[in-house]
Amino acid sequence: MKFGVDIPFVNHLGFDLVQFEGGHSEIAYEPRPEHMNSFAVTHGGACMTLLDVTMATAARSVQQDMGVVTIEMKTSFMQPARGPLKGKGRLMHRTATMAFTEATIFDAEGRACAHSTGTFKYVKRLPTGAKSANALNVISTD
């Protein structure tokens, strides 16, 4: 399954979209050695990226033609994230412009490793190519 847009950092990490519908998302992630911290477990930054993308995907799943940008995110790390991981996200509430979400990372044994809540703003997807020599490639957050 595809994310619907090209996200180079997500491609680099190797996230695999499993579910993308009805306010729910699921992303599988097999961390590679370069994604580990000095304790040989998945780096917190990689975990937070998985949570962020999982929540954003849940928000986008109800209106796939729109993009979202992260407004705020709170993360709690409960235990080390080892081995293959799965992020499961849910859109909890939506307004015309905002999405309120949550996501949890589970290890292969189904243990919760980290949990996040996040707020996202819906934005129109704009072309990313240069329109003129002076054009800036920006995403509006208005």
The CATH number of residue 26's host domain is 3.10.129.10
Domain interval for residue 19: 8-124
pTM higher than the cut 0.75? yes
Answer whether residue 70 is part of any domain. Answer: yes
Counting the structural domains of the chain, the total is: 1
- For 3-31, letters b (16+ CB in 10 Å) and e give beeeeeebeebebebebbeebbbbbebeb
The pLDDT tens digits along the chain (142 residues) read 777 788 899 999 999 999 999 999 999 999 999 999 999 999 999 999 999 999 999 999 999 999 999 999 999 999 999 999 999 999 999 999 999 999 999 999 999 999 999 999 999 977 665 554 444 444 443 3
Answer whether residue 118 is part of any domain. Answer: yes
Answer whether residue 46 is part of any domain. Answer: yes
Name the one residue in this structure whose structure tokens are 């090209």: 6
Name the DSSP letter for residue 44: H
